Amino acid sequence: MVVNGGQPIKCEIMKMRDNLRHPGDLNYCGTHEPCRNGGTCENTAPNEYSCTCPDGFSGQNCQVVDNPCATTPCHNGATCYEFKRDSSSSSSSSSATGIDTGSSTAAGGNNSAGTGTRSANGTTDLGFTCVCPNGWTGDKCEIRVSDSAKVATGAAAGSIKERSIIRYVGNDGRKTSSKTGWGDICVVFKVVKGVELKIDIDECKSSPCLHGGTCEDLVDGFQCYCPPGWTGVTCDLDADECEEEQNPCVNSLSCVNVVGDYRCECMKGWTGKNCEENVDDCAGRGKPCENGATCLDLVNAYKCVCPAGFA
């Protein structure tokens, strides 16, 4: 049956029935909870809603932080800067990669290939950037560089659109160490706002500390803790324990320095590593006191305390 200029009545009836069966989500707020950051949701129509955002937030779902640095997102003494989202200046880097495997520290930028906030070619749209102090990296300076000593692998960054401050990782000359199907991979320096910071390598892996010294990896260096008898940056120097200020020998005639150790020449009546022990002359002479006398040990001597009737 056809009426109204050729429109089928049957189809119109089916559409009305379909609308009655599927009227839309009347409680979109309760079902989906779209409002973020403490926003209040109001159902306005089927499948429609409106978010009332608290102070400091905006956007359809209150997802935009108007003053992102106010929440102090940067850690470990880092400085927070807000992005100017309308900035259109751009730069490019042919071999910038991240410190972590497959990561990017081009914070607040986007590049021409790939997605993800921590991919080698990624987008970080946090609304702020953290300028990290020496020894720290990551979007919020939460990663210690010395904990990320492994050189990054991953695709090179493409063109990076600058927001306010551009950060990237890559060597000074953008040299390429190798190529993959996804691009170049190379990292030597961490560049933050034009300041080059060497990425820490675990120098302790080469076991630089000699003679049993303990190695501690530091940012751009290492520290050796030497055992007694050794000194120097790598515990390679014999320590002179007999120096006047630290001479360990007491009750001695002299201190003799030997490689990795020392020897004390004790005066008579003294023994021990440092001549600190009095020699027991009573025990060493095979009971020198007779007739039940008591032996008193002295320094390099002894005295017998005789019972009555003996002298």
* Model pLDDT for residues 160-207, shown as the tens digit of each residue: 333 333 333 433 333 333 333 434 333 334 443 344 444 557 889 889
Asked whether residue 53 carries a pLDDT value surpassing 60, the answer given is yes
Pairing between β-strand 178-180 and β-strand 57-58 as defined by DSSP bridges: unpaired
- Three-state SS for 2? strand
Handedness of CA 97, 102, 107, 113 (dihedral sign): positive
Q: Are 109 and 166 in contact (CB under 8 A)?
A: yes
Would residue 49 be called left, alpha or beta, if left means φ above 0 and alpha means ψ between -120 and 50 degrees? beta
Res. 52: pLDDT tops 80: yes
d(CA 132, CA 32): 37
Q: Is the pLDDT of residue 277 over 70?
A: yes
pLDDT, one tens digit per residue, over 6-31 is 554 444 444 445 445 556 678 889 88
- The band of 92, judged by pLDDT with boundaries at 50, 70 and 90, is very low
What are the residue boundaries of the structural domains of the chain, listed by start? 24-84+132-139, 208-238, 240-279, 281-310
Average pLDDT, rounded, for the chain: 67
**In degrees, to the nearest 5, what angle opens at C-alpha 139 toward C-alphas 136 and 141?**
25
Cβ partners under 8 Å of residue 206, min gap 6: none
CATH architecture under which domain 24-84+132-139 falls: Ribbon (2.10)
Question: Cα separation of 149 and 64, whole Å?
Answer: 35
How far is C-alpha 73 from the geometric centre of its chain's CA atoms? 17
* Distance between first and last Cα of the chain: 149
Tokens, residue 276? 């600190």
Residues composing the chain: 311
Given a cut of 70, is residue 214 above it in pLDDT?
yes
Q: Span 208-238: which CATH code?
A: 2.10.25.10
Do 24-84+132-139 and 240-279 come out as alike in CATH topology? Answer: yes
Of 52 and 114, the structure prediction assigns the larger pLDDT to 52
pLDDT at position 67, please?
Answer: 80
Residue 147 DSSP label: G
Q: Which fold has domain 240-279?
A: Laminin (2.10.25)
What is the arithmetic mean of pLDDT over 74-101?
Answer: 51
CA distance 26 to 54: 24
Return d(Cα 119, Cα 296) in angstroms, integer: 82
CA angle 36, 41, 42 (to 5 degrees): 160
Give the residue among 124, 126, 195, 120 at the shortest CA–CA distance from 158.
120
| pTM beyond 0.85 | no
pLDDT of residue 286: 72
Of 205, 194, 195, 75, give the one whose Cα is nearest residue 136: 75
Q: Note the pLDDT tens digit of each residue in 261-273.
A: 889 999 998 999 9
For the segment 59-76, the average pLDDT, to the nearest whole number, is: 84
Exposure letters 41-60 (e unless 16+ CB within 10 A, then b): bebeeeeebebebeeebbee
